[in-house]
Amino acid sequence: MKHFLIKTLGVIFLLATAIAALVWLVPADQDNYLMAYNKKMAWLETCPQPRVIFIGGSNLAFGLDSHMIQDSLHCHVVNMGLHGGIGIRYPAEDCLKHIRPHDIVVLQFEYGNFFSGGNGELETMPQLMAATGWKNMEKLNTRQFINVIAGLPRLAAGNAKRLARACWKDSLDSELTHATFHYAASGFNELGDEVSHLTLPPQSAEPSSIMPSSSINQDFMAWLKDVISRYEKCGATVVMLPPVCPESHFACCYDNSIEHALDSIGRPYMVSPAAMTLDDSYSYNGGYHVNGAGVGVNSRRTIAILKNVREFAQMSKMQ
């Protein structure tokens, strides 16, 4: 029995060492989709005022024309939307350090966060940490840290494949064609919009993520109330907006308990969730992603909403 335990521990040690080597010694794919997070954060840090900052998931990445919003509202736009798989807690906490007085911050994230807790997924969080150079590991909460650790074997396996591929391609980075859509950092423009899909035909819809059969996560609601308060202490105006959502996806992922939960913490949506839905003909590849025509409709709708917010913020400053 003793020899068996020693051998078992030896195997575990070797596997852990191999995973660690593949995770920390293999450079991240420079065109990995999540590498766009670094570009977005750099723009947030240097972007001049006045500015509107959108924080959320891929509904924002695939749903906004930030140049249109910028030209219409006569302000600078930062689109932090990236991937629902990183949750909302990480980007919302990370952006706080660059918030300035008079910023308008739009929180517009996917409905699943209200049920899952907004901590991200074990497949995506390790990739985000690798993309950002593991620099914010100490800021992760317990659930996020567990997701990162649990996802390391999958990240290591992906890096092993990249190493094997590099033997005949002489590169660890992805080689993409522009004839078809790929999730890649190079697909984003300088303001943070995913633009590579705009000129491509819609893809077959990905399976919709069904809302968990659970109640609203109260820990998440407490965090949301607190983080909004911290944004306001920085001098920002915070706006809660529902995500853009094709009708079929809205039908399976939205529940009225979300609005009741927001009302309970005194942070209601500025418009009803149904008002942010679009016909399925505007869907790009399912979920919260819309095509070029949908981006136009959603951006004009967002402009109309934010014009009222900007007028309110300006009047508040004058009082």
Dihedral sign, Cα of residue 94, residue 289, residue 150, residue 166: negative
| CA separation for the pair 94, 245 (Å, rounded) | 25
**71: pLDDT strictly greater than 60:** yes
CATH of domain 29-118+180-318: 3.40.50.1110
Q: Which residue has the higher pLDDT, 135 or 12?
A: 135
**What is the pLDDT confidence band of residue 51, given thresholds at 50, 70 and 90?**
very high
| CA separation for the pair 5, 10 (Å, rounded) | 8
- Which pLDDT belongs to residue 318? 42
| Domain spans, the chain | 29-118+180-318
| CA separation for the pair 248, 138 (Å, rounded) | 39
- Which pLDDT belongs to residue 195? 96
Residues 81-91: pLDDT tens digits? Answer: 999 999 999 99
Structural contact between residues 252 and 211, judged by C-beta atoms closer than 8 angstroms:
yes
Look at residues 11, 56, 73, 59 and name the one whose alpha carbon lies nearest to residue 305.
Answer: 73
Residues 291-304: pLDDT tens digits? Answer: 999 999 999 999 99
What is the average per-residue pLDDT within 51-63? Answer: 97
Cβ contacts of 172-181, under 8 Å, gap ≥ 24: 172/26, 172/27, 172/29, 173/29, 173/30, 173/31, 174/29, 174/31, 174/32, 176/31, 181/285
Strand, coil or helix: 170: coil
Q: How far is CA 267 from the centre of its chain?
A: 21
Strand, coil or helix: 137: helix
What is the average per-residue pLDDT within 34-45? Answer: 97
**311: pLDDT strictly greater than 70:** no
